[in-house]
Amino acid sequence: MERTYIMVKPDGVQRGLVGEIVKRFEQKGFKLAALRLMTPTEEHLKQHYKDLAEKPFFPGLIKYMTSGPVVGMVWVGKGAVTTGRKMLGATNPADSAPGTIRGDFCIEVGMNICHGSDTVENAEAEIALWFPEGVATYEKSEDAWLYEKRN
Ligand SMILES: Nc1ncnc2c1ncn2[C@@H]1O[C@H](COP(=O)(O)OP(=O)(O)OP(=O)(O)O)[C@@H](O)[C@H]1O
């Protein structure tokens, strides 16, 4: 089953939007497989955002992302990566449609509340980076969601 890594960034945590974001993913029908409040290290963030290392905004991005705790989550379900990105909205909130998380709750690209994996491959790499101990997974049975520990 497809999985995505969603992270509520420091501004989202500080503004009390964790519950709102969790609610939207739950209501959409995705299943929560992992959730953790954590204060990321600079090293972890440099790995997470390694493709952006040469961008002029990179130092500011690292400063922003280490300004307070974040909430990392793994959501599971059909199309979790693509649909998750649609639910977040465009990177720049000015381009995010109302009804998306960024479209509804922010105005600055440098403080855009949440992260969502952009490909299935990157989602798996990000899940391994942020939850190295492994996360729960779901298997659909006829009448229940069953839980088992992922290796
Ligand atoms: N021009 C910019 N100025 C300041 N910050 C920026 C700018 N562009 C991107 N960022 C920050 O860097 C993050 C990563 O940029 P990226 O281009 O990977 O967008 P994204 O994939 O939509 O975002 P994310 O990876 O956080 O989900 C953005 O979410 C934003 O916080």
Q: Is the reported ipTM for this assembly greater than 0.90?
A: yes
Range of the domain at 76: 3-134
Q: What is the reported pLDDT for 85? A: 98
Distance 110 CA to ligand 1 centre (A): 7
Distance (Å) from CA 90 to ligand 1 centroid: 9
Is residue 139 in a domain? Answer: no
Q: Over 80: is that where the pLDDT of 27 sits?
A: yes
Residue 9 included in any domain: yes
Question: In this structure, is residue 116 part of a structural domain?
Answer: yes
Cα separations in angstroms, 85 against 60, 63, 114: 23, 23, 10
* Dihedral, 146, 7, 86, 137 alpha carbons, nearest 10: -10
Nearest CA to ligand 1 atom 27: 115
**Order of strands, edge to edge, in the sheet holding 3-8?**
31-38, 70-76, 3-8, 114-116
Structural domain count, the chain: 1
Q: Is 115 one of the catalytic residues?
A: yes
Q: Given this model, what pLDDT does residue 136 score?
A: 81
pLDDT band for 142, please (50, 70, 90 cuts): very low
pLDDT in tens, 81-124: 999 999 999 999 999 999 999 999 999 999 999 999 999 999 99
Nearest CA to ligand 1 atom 6: 110
Structural domain contains residue 75: yes
Q: What is the pLDDT of residue 1?
A: 85
Tell me whether residue 147 is in a domain.
Answer: no
State residue 141's pLDDT score.
Answer: 52
- pTM, entire model: 0.92
pLDDT digits (tens, 9 = 90+) for 32-67: 999 999 999 999 999 999 999 999 999 999 999 999
Give the Cβ contact number of residue 130 at 10 Å.
Answer: 21
Residue 7 has pLDDT above 70, yes or no: yes
Relative to the CA of 91, which ligand 1 atom is closest? 22
pLDDT for 31 equals 92
The answer to whether position 146 is within a domain reads no
pLDDT for 132 equals 94
**What is the maximal distance between C-alpha atoms in the chain?**
51
Tell me the CATH number at 15. 3.30.70.141
In this structure, the residues whose C-beta lies within 6 A of any atom of ligand 1 are 52, 57, 61, 91, 109-110, 112, 115-116, 118
Q: Choose the catalytic residue: 115, 123, 130, 131.
A: 115
